[in-house]
Structure 1
Amino acid sequence: MLQSPDLAAAPADPAPSADLGRVAVIANRKSGTNARDNAAIERAMKAFGTERARRYSWTPGKDPDGSMRRLVETAIREGAQTVVSAGGDGTAMAVAQAVLDTETTFAALPLGTFNYFSRGLGLPEEAGEAAAALMRARRHRIRVGMVNGKVFLNNASLGIYPAILKQRESVYARYGRHRIMAHWSVAKTFLRFQRPMRLTLDADGRVQSRRTPLLFVSRSAFQLERFGLSGAGAISDDSFAVLMGRGDTRADLFRTALRMVTRTAVEGRDYDFIAARRLTVDMRKARALVAYDGEKSLARPPFDFRMSDRMLNILIPEPDTEDA
């Protein structure tokens, strides 16, 4: 099993948390293809134990944070001691945001398109196997990333990546939620690229101006290592890995994207990297599209990236659960 470096320093309880108490499984009706497979969720429910697990359905609307918070409050009021997201990274982020201000334990099942968060914890990609692994997991307390009060578990970004997510929505609506369609949305966004952003960054008191097509603030060592990018060490040190793309043209973007896919992107040529515990980003625009764990919204700068003050109780599987 891959033990995620971003959580390596988090303290664990002295004994495995085999008793999760009552479990609330929050399923997102609009997540990736597996989320529409009721059999997959039922296998997870069976692994948790039908006598202890209860399923709740969530459909993101105009106020996804508010609706999720109310749903989690209901689950806790009805006795849930562990709240499990059953969707993709966006669903996991929404549940984590709602759980953060409570003492409830949080976990995630991989039922989305990419599932970087659950995969980064070493969970199997099949829902029933992931649930069984969580039953043998330990509780850890971690800090999560936040930007202007919004929780993110994997990354938050400005520039070309939020534009890709916007394009992806229309592609998914027409062709369905498949990874190949996600890659096609990348190409379409690059073809429409106009010019890099002009940003002013304050990273732990170090101020600099940058011209970049992408600012990528990561809290996922798994995601960085998957693409051969720098920053895993910074995350283990409880900092953000801040990556700034290089390139002024569409051709530059395509070259960098190809190098990322082939794990040949090089720091200093394709992107620049800095580590920061706190990052403030300003720009001249009145509003900008910002992405959080695959979701996006328009927000006003400046953008304040910091670690959460509160700790999130999270389940991380034991090393012997890889083949569970």
Structure 2
Amino acid sequence: MPAALVFLNERSGTARARADIEQAFRDAEVECQVRILNRYINLPAIIDYAASCGTAIVAAGGDGTVNCVAAAIVAKHPDAVFGVLPVGTLNHFAKDMKLPLTLEGAAKVIGAGVTRAVDAGEVNGRIFVNNSSIGFYPGMVLQRERLKKVGWNKWVSLLVASFRQFLRFRHLKVRVTLANGEKLMRTTPFVFVGNNEYTMEGVEAGTRERLNSGRLYVYMAPGATRLSLLRLTLAALRHKVRESPYFEAHCVESFTVEHGRRRGHVALDGEVVRLSSPLHYRTRPGVLQVLVP
């Protein structure tokens, strides 16, 4: 019988959630152990043991949980088998991997044991599986988390934080140095880095068709104002975003960003950290062996 070690996000770690996960794996005929993922757990040591036993290592939560477990795997065990139970809010990684969004379906995928090599991105030694950004988005996330801490609903917090960040609207002056030595001086509200290419137009905007091209995609909006950002959004809905003078994209394997501060906020798969400048980005091709349908 295949075995799985499941790391369950502590915010989702109720007795009911744990019981539901265990039942889903029993139905899929997979031996399962559930551990609550919190700040006190020795994640690297537990993953060392699981990897040595050939046990599938599973993240149960949203994209932040996926990032946390994936980073620990990439650090020492890139050959370990990685599974995802998408029990978070948005589950971008699971959706882009075309994984089932039910516990029962995801557990069956893990039990089947079929894997695919998937890329990760890295910035200053920190891993991301979806995207990383500086500028607008990290500022919005910090405001959202402050509102949630004082009791606001997560969706209301998101809307209010987005609106406030839009009103504050600040530009970054960045120098982007590509691997070929080309230097790009830009004034932009954000620098968004995708682990593989993001669809930027139509109803599929914000999704990825593949996660194994071995490339990062860098997106900026040079010179954009509040009004031009709104127009850029409308252009995306009309499949005309690439015609906009405020849209810029580059396909790279590595690059560097300097933003004029010694340290700054950087978003990694929806979580915000502070990293020193310059920011050194690179792709990590095929470092995750993800269980897929």
What TM-score comes out, normalization by structure 2 length? 0.84
Does the aligned pair in 1 maintain the 2:199–2:208 contact within 8 Å?
no
Q: Which moved more, 1:47-56 or 1:292-301?
A: 47-56
The answer to whether residue 32 in structure 2 is matched with residue 58 in structure 1 is: no
CA distance in 1, matches of 2:193, 2:278: 15
Q: Measure, in 2, the Cα distance between the counterparts of 1:169 and 1:97.
A: 23
Q: Shift of residue 37 of structure 1? A: 5.6
Query: 1-side partners of 2:238 and 2:87: how far apart?
Result: 26
Unaligned regions of 5+ residues in structure 2, if any? none
Q: Of residues 87, 91, 100 in structure 1, which corresponds to 2:61? A: 87
Pick from 165, 185, 192 the counterpart of residue 189 of structure 1.
165
State how far apart, in whole Å, the 2-side matches of 1:263 and 1:107 are: 36
Q: Is the 8 A contact 1:234 1:275 kept in 2?
A: no
Pairing 1:36-47 to 2, within 5 Å after superposition: 38-47=15-24
Cα pair 2:214 2:284 within 8 Å, conserved: no
Percent of aligned pairs with the same amino acid = 26
Mark the CA change 1:115 to 1:38 in structure 2 (over 3 Å): closer, same or farther.
Answer: farther
Q: 2:175 maps to which residue?
A: 200
Worse overlay, 245-254 or 85-94: 245-254
| Residues 221 and 249 (structure 1), Cα distance of their counterparts in 2 relative to 1, 3 Å cut | closer
Which of 257, 277, 281 in structure 1 is aligned with 2:253? 277
Q: Which residue of 1 aligns with 2:98?
A: 122
How many angstroms apart in 2 are the aligned matches of 1:149 and 1:293? 15
The change in CA–CA distance for 1:138 and 1:183 in structure 2 (over 3 A counts) is farther
Q: Does structure 2 conserve the Cα–Cα contact (< 8 Å) formed by 1:229 and 1:265? A: no
Query: 1:263 deviation in Å?
Result: 6.3
CA distance in 1, matches of 2:240, 2:42: 40
Alignment of 1:1-324 (within 5 A): 21-30=2-11, 35=12, 38-49=15-26, 52-60=31-39, 67-73=42-48, 75-76=50-51, 79=53, 81-100=55-74, 101-102=76-77, 103-136=79-112, 138-173=114-149, 174-178=151-155, 181-193=157-169, 195-205=170-180, 206-219=182-195, 221=197, 237-257=213-233, 262=237, 266-269=241-244, 270-308=246-284, 311-317=287-293
Maintained 8 Å contact 2:212/2:285 = no
Counterpart Cα distance in 2 of 1:120 and 1:243: 19
Give distance in 1, aligned partners of 2:96 and 2:232.
24
CA contact (8 A) 2:212 2:286 kept: no
Q: Which digits, 9 at most, give the CA deviation of each residue in 1:93-123, with x for residues without a partner?
A: 1101111221321111112121100111112
**Is the Cα–Cα contact under 8 Å of residues 202 and 281 in structure 1 kept in the other structure?**
yes
Separation in structure 1 between the aligned mates of residue 48 and residue 167 of structure 2, nearest angstrom: 44
* 1:41 Cα offset (Å): 4.3
Letter paired with 1:52? E
Q: CA deviation at 1:23?
A: 0.7
> Given residue 19 of structure 2, which amino acid in structure 1 is its aligned partner?
E
Report the secondary structure of 2:98's partner residue.
coil
Task: Tell me the SS of whatever aligns to 2:47.
Answer: helix
What is the alpha-carbon distance in structure 2 between the residues aligned to residue 313 and residue 153 of structure 1? 12
The code of the aligned residue for 2:72 comes to: A
Q: How far off its partner does 1:47 sit? A: 2.6
Query: What is the CA-CA distance between 1:153 and the residue it aligns to?
Result: 0.3
Cα 1:227/1:218, change in 2 over 3 Å:
farther
Change (3 A) 1:220 1:238: closer
1:217-266 per-position Cα deviation (integer Å, ceiling 9, x unaligned)? 00155675776559968965321111102454334444445665x46561
Asked if structure 2 preserves the Cα contact closer than 8 Å seen for 1:227 and 1:263, the reply is no
Q: Secondary structure at the match of 1:114?
A: coil
Could you tell me how far apart the structure 1 residues matched to 2:206 and 2:64 are? 24
What's the CA shift for 1:176? 3.2
SS of match in other structure, 1:188: helix
